[in-house]
Amino acid sequence: MRSELQLLYPPIVGNTPAVDVLQPRNSANEGVDIVAVHDLNEDLYEAWTDSRTGVLWLKDLLPQDALVARVLTFGYDGCPLSFFAQPRADPVTSTAINLVSYLRANREDAQCERRPIIFICHGLGGLVVKKALMYSKEKTKYPAHRDHSIFVCTTAILFFGTPHTDIKPAVWFQSRNIANLPREKHHRHISALQIINESFVRVGSSFRQLFFWEEIETHVGYSSAVPYGTEGSGCGIPTDHVNMVKFTALDSAGYPVVRNGLRRFCQEARARVEKRWAKSQVTLRDEWRDGIPLGDGPQMDKILANHISRLREMPPRRIFLLPKHHHLDPPEFIGREQERNILENAFFNSDCHQPDDTAKIFVVYGMGGSGKSELCSWFARHHKSQFNVVATVDATSAEHIEASLAELGEKWGLDATEKAGLHILEQLCEPFLLIVDNADDPQFKPWDLIPMNQYACVIITTRNLALCQIPKAGSLEVKGLKPNESLRLLLTCAGISKPWDQATLNLGNELCEVLGYLALALVVAGRSIQKNFYGSQLQRYLEFYNSKRSTYHSSHHGSHGMEVMVRDEKEKGIVYPAFEVSLAHLRKQGSQTCRDAIEILNMAAFYHRQHISLDIFAKAAQNRHPPPQGSTSIVMRMLQSFLDRFHPPPVVPGFLRSASPEKEVHRAREGISELASLSLINMDSTTAEFSLHPLVHAWARDRLGQGDQKVWARIAFNVLAETIKLPTGGENTLANEHADEKHNHDNFHRSLLPHLDSCLPLCTIDIADYDELLSRAQLYLSSYLSPTYLHILKEQAASMAKLAYVYGECGRFEESLRYLQKVKRLLCRSLGPDNSRTMTVKLELAKIYWSLGQLDEAIGLRKDVVNARERILGPSNKETLLAMDELGRSYWLNGQYGEALEQAEKTKTQMELTLGSDDRRTLSAMDMYGVVLQSWHRFSDSASIHRHVLQLREEKLGTNHLETLESKNNLAMALMNLKELEEAQALMDEVYNERRAQLGKEHPWTLWALCYLARIKVKTRHLDGAEQLLIGGIEAAKRSLPEDHLGVLMGKGELARVYSRQGRLGEAFNLLSHTLARLEETRGPEHPDSFYARWKLSILYQRQDKLDEAIETCQIAFQRAEKRLSKAHPLVSMIEADLEQFRAAREPQEQPDDNKPALTGEAIGPKRRFEFRTQTHTW
């Protein structure tokens, strides 16, 4: 059944509802619209109708008891198989969007856009309504702002048996067909539904709500049907889930509660909507950044239309990302006139029917090399003026999709993450083109990528015919070019000028037929002929091609069995020989440039086929020739020369073996140009990157035997490894880089990841553990008996360390940990645990442990390094002091405030004596000491230190350096706790704005600044500003950070505090409960962040008059705080004082002490505030 919205009341008179015949137009918004949404396995009438009596209570009973203008019922396909088998992981979204669209259109037709709405929901229909309201809330951009009216006008919701928590798969997947779906699908669906419930908590307080539960439990239990903290708002219905919404009379069990609740909601609905409508105008005004007065209905449309037309006169943000492997310049696009017309009509023909709220999707399918991507590139270029954004997603694999979306996010100005790219595609509010290229993988799920955005025009290129079933705008098969088009393309690429004689035409037609009229094969052949290594004679190329084709078929005949698709073999049989002809030309020429070109092609076969940067070869050349380290004696040079004889030659391409890095880069550039001239690669001169067509990439690898594949995969990896420079230990040189330099450094390492992932399956990087006695003996003796073996082992260890370093920087901590653990074990065995290189690896390993939340392991390694350096280098050595500073920070972050204070004070004092009081490293240690003092509530001392450090950093580094901003941040927090709020806010505003400009709004440091700024706003009672700041910051952070990242959890904790201050205790409780659970899971229940949040949760219990729960929660927090911090810490005393107050409030008051006022929950309630009093915790 398709979605539909039907009117139940009032009855229809002619074509008009009876109520509209009687009412004057100015009363159209009076009364309330009741909208009912049914559960699964129901329809829009039977769900609410008693089968025995035929009573449809929404029509027969409800209008008698409430100020109801209309009653409507919304229906959708309630079959569980249809509902849960949708291609999206979230099965609710499309139904929810339909509900909003249908209801908005219905109300516009009835001219009652501002009439209040009350929803009545049954079962999962409640989740449809929740999703619909959240969708409507976000629709504030023109022209989708009309959908926003549904959120604004909804005043109340009645939930009948809706699961708000604990959604059980066994209940909703009872159908055999549903139950047979893969278990991971069950998990995704349930997870998606649960996310809707969790997200709705943020907006739920905007509506009055009643909750009804089934007393004969068949689907949803009481604890799930009635969210925590809402007890008493509703009642149980003495029947099962199906029959709980089938009332037959005014005195049916439970109906009086329904009736009275609806009466109350209807009476207050008009006033609530008027206030919310006024507030929505402010929201829309802010959205469009103008102080224009907004009306409603057509007036609002007119004003916003004029406003948006002015905005469009401003230069828009434009992004133009085409498929990377197109081979022809725009003026040379030849043929495909019919295909171009079909594509244009699909997107621009007004006669094409398309739902208003969905993307237009068109599928271009056909064999590889036929020109699908070229056609899309032509379409994008030709209609560039009609799309502000043209984005291409390489759908070859999940990794390629992630990389493409990350590139889009970075181009837009967000972090380079997959979430950021998806967010942009969902939020764009002007027509944009999305090209999903090479979606050939049968496992590709288009609905995980295609946005639910009415402005999206989507073209999918594929060889997978199954995708042709999904398009909503059409599909098109791209075959070979027409003979005349093929001939023109071949001769144009060959550089044979007109007029063409008959012999040329005959040979050209014969060659086109042999090449199967495939565009890629024609281009490659034409470029080969243009190089003049066949003269101007097509005959010689044709003969050579036929010989290569015969060789290919004889070597592949019968070797692949049934696993290889006939279509793939046909493509390869046509195109591969054309590539072989070009390769034969390079071999025949035999020049140094051609040899370099072949080597680059061999390496590119094992890289990701896109974004192969010239920087890879440039950095490899530079790092292979480090600058000289000063003069050395002739004896040392002779010794080094002797030792070098035992080293095997470097396994790198020939062009990286010269004595000059400049010459090596030049040779790489020349080889790349040679490949581009043959159309074997596509060079992008603007980014200095090249890419390969999927068929070229496959051929480049397939033509090599298994042994050669392993060799060239290793060579390809070695070149990547040469581009990576390991930190030298001790002071991190990257800390001194400017933000732009570090950003470029990080981006380069991120760009290496897809190439590393492509190499490693054929290039094993591993070393033995050397745990056995015999293997340890071999390792020991190799330094004397087998220096070559030792050198190879050293190179392997360096490669693993480089892999670990890059993976760690890019957030792939598990892989980084695996490599670093092996390197550490090897160095401990070969060099000893106290060797400087071993300690450097230990420090890097500690960072990875820390990122994975394994805090004890991280601190243990840092303590080992400090102890070793103190013993070997001395306590005043620079490397020792830097390790001490890192250890002190670790103690503080782990909530070990006693150890942190002792270590920070010791480090600061020693650095001042050794390095000087104005050394950058000393200033860093002093700033850290100030932070630790704040955790002990010594705010005056802390502020004094931060102010001193800030003054010196401004003089040495400037006002906007990241280290200077860190001091401003720390000083602002100390001043806030000293109640010097004006100066604190000015400093924090500066920190937040500058970090946002330098690092981006999604960087963790920016998010922390935002949270601190929100904290100050709460102190100054700017609660609404704090709320908006936090909501936007949290959403931005979740696009680039994990849900459990400390910055995200910190933001949620601050938002819970804002909700509490606003009196929204239910929302504050739910959000803080979730945050506490994540903190205890990721940081441990005894971490100060965890028991601090638990303490604040106890205060929320107390404010809701739940003293037993408050005491129990506060008692746990006190015990954990006392154990971790000892009673000497101020925070422990504060928690203990609250616990005593809670206990006193619960004690019987029959015999009050006349000299001491009684403490009651009511008495202490208004005094207790949910606030972060200090910067005690690491938040």
Q: How far is CA 741 from the centre of its chain?
A: 24
**What is the pLDDT confidence band of residue 72, given thresholds at 50, 70 and 90?**
very high
- How many CB atoms neighbour CB 846 within 10 A? 26
8 A C-beta contact, residue 701 and residue 709: yes
Residue 208, both tokens: 């009055």
**What is the pLDDT confidence band of residue 983, given thresholds at 50, 70 and 90?**
very high
* Element holding 154 (H helix, E strand): strand 154-160
Q: Is the pLDDT score of 86 beyond 70?
A: no
**More confident position, 1045 or 1179:** 1045
Nearest C-alpha neighbor of 601 from the set 667, 696, 686, 524:
696
Provide mean pLDDT across the span 491-511: 87
Q: 365-374, 395-404, 530-539, 1041-1050: which has the minimum mean pLDDT?
A: 530-539
**Cα dihedral 672, 675, 679, 681 sign:** negative
- The predicted pLDDT at position 213 comes to 92
| Mean pLDDT comparison of 567-576, 720-729, 937-946, 1062-1071, highest-scoring range | 937-946
Question: Phi/psi at 841 (nearest 5 deg)?
Answer: -65, -35
**What is the pLDDT confidence band of residue 111, given thresholds at 50, 70 and 90?**
confident
**More confident position, 1145 or 791:** 1145
pLDDT over 90 for what percent of the chain? 26
8 A C-beta contact, residue 45 and residue 57: no
Q: Is the pLDDT score of 624 beyond 70?
A: yes
Give the total residue count for the chain. Answer: 1179
HSE-up of 327 (CA within 13 Å, CB side)? 27
Q: Is the pLDDT score of 89 beyond 60?
A: no
Q: Per-residue pLDDT tens for 952-975?
A: 999 999 998 989 999 999 999 999
Instruction: Calculate the dihedral angle through the C-alpha atoms of 1096, 1102, 1104, 1105, rounding to the nearest 10 degrees.
Output: 170
Q: Which residue has the tokens 């098969």?
A: 477
Question: Phi/psi at 316 (nearest 5 deg)?
Answer: -80, 165
Q: Which residues pair with 120 in a beta bridge?
A: 36, 158
Q: 131-140, 248-257, 546-555, 771-780: which has the minimum mean pLDDT?
A: 771-780
8 A C-beta contact, residue 905 and residue 911: no
- The predicted pLDDT at position 188 comes to 58
- The predicted pLDDT at position 698 comes to 85
Q: Is the pLDDT score of 769 beyond 70?
A: no
Provide mean pLDDT across the span 1128-1143: 91
Separation in Å, CA 677 to CA 324, 430, 594, 868: 16, 38, 12, 58
Provide mean pLDDT across the span 132-136: 91
Q: Is the pLDDT score of 311 beyond 50?
A: no
* Domain annotation for the chain: domains and CATH numbers: 4-283 (3.40.50.1820), 319-477 (3.40.50.300), 483-589 (no CATH), 593-761 (no CATH), 1088-1164 (no CATH)
Q: 9-23, 220-234, 647-661: which has the minimum mean pLDDT?
A: 9-23
Separation in Å, CA 600 to CA 223, 604, 1168: 64, 6, 69
Q: Is the pLDDT score of 308 beyond 60?
A: no
Q: Is the pLDDT score of 48 beyond 90?
A: yes
**More confident position, 632 or 942:** 942
Q: Which residues pair with 391 in a beta bridge?
A: 434
Q: How far is CA 536 from the centre of its chain?
A: 54
Provide mean pLDDT across the span 376-403: 87
- The predicted pLDDT at position 303 comes to 39
- The predicted pLDDT at position 300 comes to 42
- CA–CA distance, 1146 with 1164 (Å, rounded to integer): 11
By CB neighbour count within 10 A (0-12 exposed, 13-18 middle, 19+ buried), where does 503 fall?
Answer: exposed
**What is the pLDDT confidence band of residue 295, given thresholds at 50, 70 and 90?**
very low
Q: 310-319, 360-369, 482-491, 643-652: which has the minimum mean pLDDT?
A: 310-319
| Mean pLDDT comparison of 168-177, 655-664, 856-865, 1148-1157, highest-scoring range | 856-865
Instruction: Calculate the dihedral angle through the C-alpha atoms of 660, 662, 663, 667, rounding to the nearest 10 degrees.
Output: 140
By CB neighbour count within 10 A (0-12 exposed, 13-18 middle, 19+ buried), where does 525 fall?
Answer: buried
Q: Which residue has the tokens 């955790």?
A: 935
Helix or strand or coil: residue 581?
Answer: helix
Separation in Å, CA 1095 to CA 1023, 1051, 1090, 1110: 22, 17, 9, 9
- The predicted pLDDT at position 923 comes to 94
Provide mean pLDDT across the span 909-930: 92
8 A C-beta contact, residue 368 and residue 463: yes
- The predicted pLDDT at position 547 comes to 78
Residues 6+ away with beta carbon under 8 Å from 1129: 897, 898, 936, 1121
- The predicted pLDDT at position 896 comes to 87
Q: Is the pLDDT score of 622 beyond 80?
A: yes
Q: Is the pLDDT score of 618 beyond 80?
A: yes
Q: 514-528, 939-953, 1123-1137: which has the minimum mean pLDDT?
A: 514-528
8 A C-beta contact, residue 248 and residue 53: yes
Q: Is the pLDDT score of 29 beyond 70?
A: no
Provide mean pLDDT across the span 564-581: 64
- CA–CA distance, 1002 with 1040 (Å, rounded to integer): 7
- The predicted pLDDT at position 565 comes to 36
- CA–CA distance, 343 with 376 (Å, rounded to integer): 9
Q: Is the pLDDT score of 822 beyond 90?
A: no
- CA–CA distance, 806 with 825 (Å, rounded to integer): 20
- The predicted pLDDT at position 633 comes to 52
Q: Is the pLDDT score of 768 beyond 80?
A: no
pTM of the complete model: 0.61
Question: In whole numbers, what is the pLDDT of the chain averaged over residues?
Answer: 79
**What is the pLDDT confidence band of residue 1139, given thresholds at 50, 70 and 90?**
very high
Q: Per-residue pLDDT tens for 50-70?
A: 989 999 999 988 887 666 889
Q: How far is CA 1138 from the centre of its chain?
A: 40
**More confident position, 3 or 85:** 3
**What is the pLDDT confidence band of residue 297, given thresholds at 50, 70 and 90?**
very low
**What is the pLDDT confidence band of residue 84, given thresholds at 50, 70 and 90?**
low
Q: Per-residue pLDDT tens for 842-853?
A: 888 888 887 777
- CA–CA distance, 1003 with 998 (Å, rounded to integer): 10
**What is the pLDDT confidence band of residue 783, given thresholds at 50, 70 and 90?**
low
Q: 415-429, 556-570, 671-685, 1073-1087: which has the minimum mean pLDDT?
A: 556-570
Q: Is the pLDDT score of 804 beyond 50?
A: yes
Q: Per-residue pLDDT tens for 317-373?
A: 578 888 865 544 444 678 888 888 888 888 887 554 444 557 889 999 887 788 888
**What is the pLDDT confidence band of residue 856, given thresholds at 50, 70 and 90?**
confident
HSE-up of 1004 (CA within 13 Å, CB side)? 11
Q: 559-573, 675-689, 724-738, 812-826: which has the minimum mean pLDDT?
A: 559-573
Q: 175-184, 395-404, 555-564, 713-722: which has the minimum mean pLDDT?
A: 555-564
